[in-house]
Amino acid sequence: MTRGYDAWIADVLDVIPGRTLLLGLFLITLVGSVLWYSFPAWVPRRWPSFRLPALPRLPRRRRKKSTSNSDQKPPSVRVKAPSFQPDANVLASEGRYDEAIRQRLRDTVIDLTRAGVVSPEPGTTVAELADVTALNQPVAAPAMDAAAALFSEVWYGRREAGPSHDEHMRRLTDEVRSSLGGPR
C-alpha cells in the first residue's frame, strides 16, 4: 500500500508542480472552510420546481341563473367577532392551565396599566413589572411578586401546571386587583 501510494504521489507531482498543487489544496481548504462557516446560507430553502407550460383551456359554459330563487334573500347571520385574547376561565376549563395562568397575568398587567401603576414596554420582563409595581403600589407588591414567580416557574421553567396552580394565580391576581380598588 505504501509503495503504491508513493508511486501515485510521484506520478501526480511529475504532471503538476508542487507549488501549484499546494496552492490548489489551499484554495480547496479555504472554500470548504467558508462553506462550513456559512452553512445555512448556501443551502437552498426550496428546490426549484420545473413545470411544463400550461395548455390552453377551453372557456367554461356558464349556467343560466334560475329566476325562481332570485326573490328570496339569504338569511342574515350576525357573526360575533373573534376575541384575540381568550378568557382565562375558558382556558382553565379546557385543561390548559399554563395558558390560563399567562392570561390571568396579562389581565392583571392590563389593570395595572389602566390604573397608572406600570407602563409596560416591549421586552419588559415579569420581574421588572413586579419591581415597578412594588415601587408604585407597595400594597400589591407581595401578591405581584408571588404571581410573577408562579408565572415564571410555569411558563419559563416549563413546569406542568395544574388546577391548584391556576387557583393560586387566581387568588394572587384578585389580591392585586383588590389593592387597586377592584377590576378595571
CA distance 135 to 94: 36
The ranges assigned to domains in the chain are 2-42, 88-180
pTM passes above 0.75: no
Q: What is the DSSP string of 2-53?
A: HHHHHHHHHHHHHHS-HHHHHHHHHHHHHHHHHHHHTHHHHS-SS-----PP
Element holding 96 (H helix, E strand): none
Average of pLDDT values for 118-137?
Answer: 90
Q: What pLDDT digit, counting tens, does each position of 67-96 carry?
A: 555 555 555 555 454 556 678 899 999 999
Contact 101, 151 (CB under 8 A): yes
Cβ 148 vs Cβ 126: under 8 Å: yes
| Residue range 145-173, pLDDT digits in tens | 999 999 999 988 888 999 999 999 999 99
Q: Which residue has the higher pLDDT, 132 or 42?
A: 132
DSSP run (H or E) holding 90: helix 88-93
| Whether the Cβ atoms of residue 179 and residue 133 lie closer than 8 Å to each other | no
Q: What is the pLDDT of residues 8-35, one digit of tens each?
A: 989 998 999 989 999 999 999 999 888 8
Average pLDDT of the residues in 47-53: 70
Closest to 106 measured CA to CA, from 95, 98, 80, 137: 98
Mean pLDDT of 42-67: 69
For all residues of the chain together, what is the average pLDDT? 83
Q: Using CA atoms, how far apart are residues 138 and 30, in angstroms rounded to an integer?
A: 62
| DSSP 8-state class, residue 115 | T
Least confident of 44-58, 91-105, 147-161, 167-181: 44-58
